[in-house]
Structure 1
């Protein structure tokens, strides 16, 4: 379990849900005056209203859709204790947590993990991944900043100019440019997704059209392909591949937006009406 569990807000314990009907009942009494439920509720809204409401609502949704057992929590807690060893109690104290509140944080983290794994992965995606992962590619590329330059270089290649020479002249990739664009052997997931899919779609010696990625525009040529030794059959790898694909799709902000949209959340407190306005599902 990652260290972030020590930083989580324990929404289930202190959330706005506990003050859902604030009134005049006294929460705390002091020599200088009382603090009522309504005053406490309003203070909580001022301090962390939107963020706390989001967490309370998301936790409620997660509790409805997914289950975390005591055994799972204890197993994660055991891992935390092993990770910190003799420093465990000190880390709890520094984080202003008791072991019970740490368990609450662990529970919420496990709920998040279950939600992130709950993504659709199609048979077509699994087969595509398998076909790619069962092969390694040897390729080279020319990387440039803009599409116009990429098209000009592609035209030169189509006219028969030397790939390596053009890579040395034009490529902005500091690692491969000086080597004629050579990237060596690689397998699925090594490159950014756009590059990966374009490369695996090429036949040997075929040169791609310009491919845009976060790095710029690539012109790719696959020079060799080889099977991955003992990779296994599709039916044996299916679940492993499904988990790998699901992990690449895992994005908590996106998942949270989907969950909130499905739950049809309506905020009745006008002071908190914009709490979910910035959370949009695609």
Structure 2
């Protein structure tokens, strides 16, 4: 009988014999035991590590500030999103900023975008100091006002899609606008203008206060020529213009008023409407007229000849205009002082201003950042916060100023 040890010895000799019959090349390459497969695993693990390292480094780079304003950062991803929106805006008008011929224009745009974001940051900081807070209901109310300026809610959302703005982004924009308005209102609450100042301005610019010929119009606006022809036939049969306007017109601001546009100058109308209005007599209505907005039928209710306006006629309007001018001057002076007092530190390494040409990589980043923002519905990413170690701050400030000097050289 075979012992266990002898059986093991025979089996081992067979394995050695089989190994000796293997091709030396195969043994060398490691195919016998799958070493080649292990090498492939090592290769792809290496690739994965490199990809993760690069993507991680890029993510950290995106959270680096392009500038700091009184210690608060403007993150690179925020800057690139705003810049990408500006690039898309100009593309709608046939201006391709990817073209190297537009390099100087793009360089100026980059500076304008960054300056705009710095200005907004200062305004936001000052609003916080004044304890100004905008509620969601205030944002909703402003959005409702904007919607009313469109023929329909569908047109409103189509306009947003065309501008590549999500509802979340729109809410953020409106919140910033309302914050600025509330701050400016508070800062200019003590700005006044006297009647004597208004009267003096009127006397100096009397020749400017001439009212051109005005016409009183109402209109019905529809989308198709067939709808317009149908309404025109009803008017010819004696149907009431105001009633038809309330029923059919898609011009939201005027339809509930029977299509009444009030007293307006012909210069405020598109050319085709102005020409048709000029040919109408009082209390006559036109045939359907095509315009960029759709198809109109207008009715002329009256005409006023041009005339010089008296002080009493312009007093209220002129007072409001001069007060706004005075408030704007006060705000301009205030903001100039605040900006001079602010500590603004641009980061030329993260946001280089000396490379105006958009590369293919930058194109991809604009698209990616835009996609991420659409997914987030305008909510900012909560990225890593800067440290508050005084020693590191002073060191980084020194490095930043040195970097600026080097970039200027």
Question: Which bracket does the TM-score occupy, shorter chain normalised?
Answer: 0.3 to 0.5
| Higher helix proportion (structure 1 or 2) | 2
Q: TM-score, normalised by structure 2?
A: 0.25
